[in-house]
Amino acid sequence: MTGAVTLAFINQSMSDLRRLTDQMTDLNRQMSTGAKHHDLKGFGGSSSRLLSARTLMTQSDSRASLLQQMQARFGVQGAALGQVADASTTLSQSIREAISANDGRGISTELELSFASVVQALNETWNGKPMFAGERQEGNPVRINSLDELTTAITPDALFDEAERHQVVDLGTGSPTVLAAKASELAQPLFDAMRELKALLNASGGSIGQPITLSQQNELLQIADALSAQAVSFTNEQARTGQLQKRYETEDIRLQERSDLIKKEIGEQADADGGEVAMRLSTLTLQYEASAKTFAELSRLSLLDFI
């Protein structure tokens, strides 16, 4: 073997070692990261498709996260509406029971309790923001805190503090959804009925005693009917909230399934096959050891061996 040939073999061996080293480094990276390539350039013509898939997955996950937040909000919102419906029903039943017993002494207490429950529910918040104040993000939508304030708060502006527009959410479909009706839209007739009952109590010296007069009975029945109607109205609004919650839950499941499919497609394109990588790494290791041995043997040769 001539010196020139030996030098050529040495250079070829060095080149093989560098190539094998680069390949083994890349395979080790794939084993540690689980990705075929460290950036999109490595995917060549598939890079644009992979980027689009990742964008779609990000969008789906973002919408799913918002849907989950809205589902939780609707749960709190539905409970608040149900609380108002229960308070209206309880007060209406108490009035009817008082009429049946011909004893109205407990009506005043029931009114106080129902009023407090209604105000608390309508001032309910989600993440620190009022749910029934329209798009306004702070403060209570119901201004008053007592029945005495209710008797003088005749106009909507005196009763409510809310934005002109509703609070809406757009999940990216281009069709915004109203999250909730405003307190004034929901509760104006309810507060009117409570104000009328409070006025009747005040006219009777603060409490309706025993027996209840015929005129008092007639007025109480009208108030009880109005309260029952409001209980039905709030129950219907609670049902609407439940429908929104269910719709968002269904959409959330659909988006999760879509995200899983996209994630699978991305994985098929971008994720390294651990078993295949391990086999290739083992094969390259054997090749590297053989090339290293050849290089070591050639490196011990010198031109003196061929003179």
- The pLDDT-based confidence of 54 (bands split at 50, 70, 90) is low
In the beta sheet, which residues pair with residue 8?
none
Query: CA 20: distance to chain centroid?
Result: 50
Where do the DSSP E strands lie in 142-256?
168-169, 177-178
Highest-confidence segment of 58-72, 187-201, 283-297: 187-201
The interaxial angle of helices 107-122 and 183-203, nearest 10 deg, is 160
Q: What gap in Å lies between CA 123 and CA 131, rounded to an integer? A: 7
Query: What dihedral angle (degrees, nearest 10) is formed by the CA atoms of 29, 35, 36, 42?
Result: -100
Condensed to tens digits (0 to 9), the pLDDT of residues 179-222 reads 999 999 999 999 999 999 999 999 999 999 899 999 999 999 99
Q: Return phi, psi of residue 125, to 5°.
A: -125, 160
76, 126 contact by CB (below 8 A): yes
What is the identity of the amino acid at 140?
N
- The pLDDT-based confidence of 43 (bands split at 50, 70, 90) is very low
Fold topology of 58-266: f41 fragment of flagellin, N-terminal domain (1.20.1330)
Position with higher pLDDT, 155 vs 275: 155
Highest-confidence segment of 3-17, 138-152, 239-253: 138-152
Element (H, E) at 184: helix 183-203
Half-sphere exposure of 163 (CA within 13 A, CB side): 17
Grouping H, G, I as helix, E, B as strand and the rest as coil, residue 271 is: strand
Pairing of the two strands 168-169 and 177-178: antiparallel
Q: What gap in Å lies between CA 265 and CA 270, rounded to an integer? A: 9
- pLDDT computed for residue 256 by the predictor: 77
Condensed to tens digits (0 to 9), the pLDDT of residues 9-36 reads 556 656 665 765 655 665 565 555 555 5
Q: What gap in Å lies between CA 164 and CA 253, rounded to an integer? A: 34
Highest-confidence segment of 16-30, 140-154, 235-249, 271-285: 140-154
- pLDDT computed for residue 52 by the predictor: 66
- The pLDDT-based confidence of 307 (bands split at 50, 70, 90) is very low
Q: Is the pLDDT of residue 171 over 90?
A: no
Averaged pLDDT, 80-90:
97
Condensed to tens digits (0 to 9), the pLDDT of residues 194-203 reads 999 999 999 9
Tokens 């104006």 locate to 188
pLDDT > 70 in the chain, percent: 62
